[in-house]
Structure 1
Amino acid sequence: MKLVTFRCRGHHSIGKVVGNQVIDLPASDPALPRTMLELLQAGPAALERAEAVDASRSIAYPLADVQLDAPVPTPSKFLAIGMNYSKHVEEAKAAGIQVPDSQVWFNKQVSCVHPPFEPVHMPKASDKLDYEAELGVVIGRRCRHVSEADAHSVVAGYVVCNDVSVRDWQMRSPTMTLGKSFNTHGPFGPWIVTADEVADPHALQLRMKLNGEVRQEVSTGEMVFNIWQQIAYLSTVMTLEPGDVIATGTPSGVGAARKPPSFVKVGDVMRVEIDGIGHIENVVVGEPE
């Protein structure tokens, strides 16, 4: 399934995309939860019930008429791994950034969560705005101390992410959190593609286009630490909750590593594509007063 959170004609709900229609799940089956977080928390039985909703006997809207929100508008955590593609590690080292041997994690504060097609703000505090195309993982059940072998069982599905970064603010703190958490700097979506529809999340082609120019392109199979290793590592430290989002790393080609550095400007259009998942696209606008 492709699961969405959407707005249409003043109505806010969750649904599944079937062809060019969005099936309103709780309107079609009142026994289903009304938010994506509640749907994921309800577990496999609720997802099976959602999948069973018959498109021919449901309440639906044309996909072209709806406004898509972030699929999980209020995750409890938005975690991201740094330096997880070898060529990106090389460009970081060339820029003088020390790269540890272990997994490098940081928080994107959840206030940065943003819809997949709405404008991203150029902050008043900086002009060092950069893109990072990433595959995102959405956790499907509460878990702790998950083994690599079992990690696939806790995944609800996959999304397209742009880990928008403010580079000078990122470098002001060893945790990188401030530079990763400006409002609007966590767009993801356009939907959750459920895990059963992704045969191998490590065999997907990922690319970033800036104003139509390909700036990043890689196979997710080139990750240094794969998704199962990431989940095992994180769940050693903390309980992962349904709806938590994990951004699995960006490849080489970020603007900060270009010579000279090439940062995003107001009016630029950032488009992230992942074959088999979909795309998100955000124009950069000035931060409002």
Structure 2
Amino acid sequence: MPSIMFSRLSAVLLSLASMVSAHYGHGGQYGSGAWGGYGPYGGGGSSSNNAFANGQFGSAFASGRNTILVAHGVLAALAFVIFFPMGSILIRLASFRGAWIVHGLFQVFAYLVYTAAFGIGIYIVQNVPINLLDHYHPIIGIVVFVLLFFQPILGLIHHFQFQKNHRRTFWSYGHLWLGRIVITLGIINGGLGLLFATETGFFAPSRDQIIAYGVVAGIMWLLWVAAIVVGGRRRARANKVVRSDASYSSYTASETSSKRRYV
């Protein structure tokens, strides 16, 4: 099952990459030179010190600048709007044996997708003529990337501690709440990235694109929160049944012992 799932996800990513390349690469609607028409750094600007026009970008970056920016945004959005929430929803609602393994593999895959987006972001930061690290979007992206490093570690500790103690521990709550914070922050940062692109003029998204991201991200976030609530209620009911059974067993054992004592 995991192999089928990952093959399908890989096919989706390849399809998206092909669409991005065809649409934003050389010869596409937003191909070479398209970035130059936007904002204070675009080719349409009046400044004679135009960074793009004067070739301050490396040739490799300039030739595929739109593809690079779109790839960064698409991969990060896939990670935080689709893959991370879906992996979390799965572990909350699924009940098949080995669900935690599928959950872990799903989240690792999402982490790798975001790592690719993060790497592209670092490349962009190193190749633009302004200091992007003074802005909120890249700073939040770095914080999210660092926090995500600890998530699989906490997840493994949570799993083994839960198997040992049959209850949640400090590590469990650390894993749960770090994941909730990071996913929410990642979704918000995606919207901030669109705003950042608009403010700087770096391949400014259209109003429809911003609305589309907001709608899809909002729906996925609500579905994810709903899964957390439903999963929490299921767990509470299951724990209540277990406690009732334990109390009944204890009562039965006590009654049996008393009868034997007075027979």
State whether TM-score is above 0.5. Answer: no
Give the number of the structure with larger relative contact order, counting CA–CA contacts within 8 Å between residues 6 or more apart. Answer: 1
Task: Give the number of the structure whose alpha-carbon radius of gyration is greater.
Answer: 2
TM-score with structure 2 setting the length: 0.26
Superposition TM-score, scaled by structure 1 size: 0.24
